[in-house]
Chain A
């Protein structure tokens, strides 16, 4: 059975592009454009992996991850962002048990490799 991945990003173009790449790679994908939508979908679909943007308009990515981890403690989370991580953010991601953080400037190939690794584990 294919792994289910929840993609959370308020930028529609990035979210759809990522969903398309994941589908092509053989995964089932559900998308959320906001924190509220993400909470609802996490309950409904119980994903095997969450890919979440750091900065969204209606919510902070790290806070959202903290909430989702309460209901899905075993689901790994990949944090994706367009800005560079500062040390404070890195500390916070570790504390919130984010499995991996990646920049949107990295290639899709690298991102897919990390996705594969997280889904296998």
Chain B
């Protein structure tokens, strides 16, 4: 869907186009009419001019004839002939100009008939003068019908008609010019108004766009600030994670170090060390156990203690009082020290020993015990 401002602009452009075209059409039409009027006016003036020329030539011809009749001068006769010829020529022109106009053409036709009569009269008068002298000519002149007046009248009527035509076309021409002026002016004013409105719309649009751009800029700035903030948060979180990770690794290595150290301590003890569960099973041994008994770790771990430690009586009766003392120690949480027992070696040897048991605590809870076994001095 187009922007409403865009639609308005397009609509206004179309209106502008329509106004321009209308103004142009009206103006062109008026100009055409003015041209036609002008042609008519010229045409009418031409007819009037021919009418005047006819009368002028005719008058000149009549005057020359009279002179000839009086003087008998051939020069006057020639001038008269020439003038009549001119009159006929102008008459022909006048007829040609009015051939499409019934009334003026008819008028010229009538004038032509009268002119023909005048020329017959002139010829008769000339003949009479040449043959009979001035007296004969006077007789012919006396019989003259006096048609010049009629010719004058007809020509005057013709001219009046044409003047009327000229006047009417002049008026029309004036009106057309006025119309053209108003059309051009109105078109100009309307176009100016439309252009002003267009400028207003465009300005309005520009302001809207500027506001939108400004709002967008503010939003972008906020977004940028948020992004920066978030990036900083992430960087900080990352930094924290890296530090925590390093700290964790360091703690792990410290712990490993401690475990190794403790193991070294345990492994360096010459006494036999057993870690036992509350059920008197062996969980761990130190290397001294292996050295003394010949049993490897996998032989003893997860096995009962009596496999490697007991008494001769227990072997016979199956009951070892020492076990009960150990159980009691682990139950009560009291240390058991220097209790006698027999160490059984892999190769079948039996070694008298003394053992001590120390409860192994995890918080308040006894989870097992640590047993140390010393070989008796007499047999070590």
Q: Which residues of A contact B (CB under 8 A)?
A: 13-14, 17, 20-21, 24, 82-83, 104-105, 107-109
When the two chains form the complex, which single residue of B251, B253, B258, B261 contacts A107, counting CB atoms closer than 8 Å? B251
In the complex, A14→B253 CA distance in Å? 7
> Does B247 contact A82, Cβ atoms closer than 8 Å?
no
By DSSP majority rule, is chain B's interface helix, strand, loop, or mixed?
helix
Also in contact, A24 and B243, with CB within 8 A (given A82-B261, A105-B258): yes
> Does A82 contact B246, Cβ atoms closer than 8 Å?
no
List, in ascending order, chain A residues with CB within 8 A of B261's CB.
82-83
List, in ascending order, chain B residues with CB within 8 A of A109's CB.
243, 247
Interface size, B (range): 10 to 19
Which of B251, B253, B261 neighbours the largest number of chain A CB atoms within 10 Å of its CB? Answer: B253
Which of B242, B243, B246, B261 neighbours the largest number of chain A CB atoms within 10 Å of its CB? Answer: B246
List, in ascending order, chain B residues with CB within 8 A of A104's CB.
253-254, 257
In the complex, A20→B243 CA distance in Å? 10
> Does A17 contact B253, Cβ atoms closer than 8 Å?
yes
List, in ascending order, chain A residues with CB within 8 A of B242's CB.
24
Also in contact, A20 and B253, with CB within 8 A (given A82-B261, A83-B261): no
List, in ascending order, chain B residues with CB within 8 A of A105's CB.
254, 257-258
Other than A104-B253, A109-B247, give 17 A-B pairs with Cβ distance below 8 A.
A13-B253, A14-B253, A17-B249, A17-B253, A24-B242, A82-B254, A82-B257, A82-B261, A104-B254, A105-B254, A105-B257, A105-B258, A107-B247, A107-B250, A107-B251, A108-B243, A108-B246
In the complex, A24→B258 CA distance in Å? 26
Q: Which 5 A-B pairs have the closest CB atoms?
A: A82-B257, A108-B250, A105-B254, A21-B246, A108-B247
Give the residue name and chain of the B residue nearest to A21 (CB): B246
In the complex, A38→B104 CA distance in Å? 138
A12 smallest CB distance to B (angstroms): 11
In the complex, A107→B252 CA distance in Å? 11
In the complex, A78→B257 CA distance in Å? 19
List, in ascending order, chain B residues with CB within 8 A of A107's CB.
247, 250-251
> Does B247 contact A20, Cβ atoms closer than 8 Å?
no
22 A/B residue pairs, CB under 8 Å, sorted by A: A17-B246, A17-B249, A17-B250, A17-B253, A20-B246, A21-B246, A21-B250, A24-B242, A24-B246, A82-B257, A82-B258, A82-B261, A83-B261, A104-B253, A104-B257, A105-B254, A105-B257, A107-B250, A108-B246, A108-B250, A109-B243, A109-B247
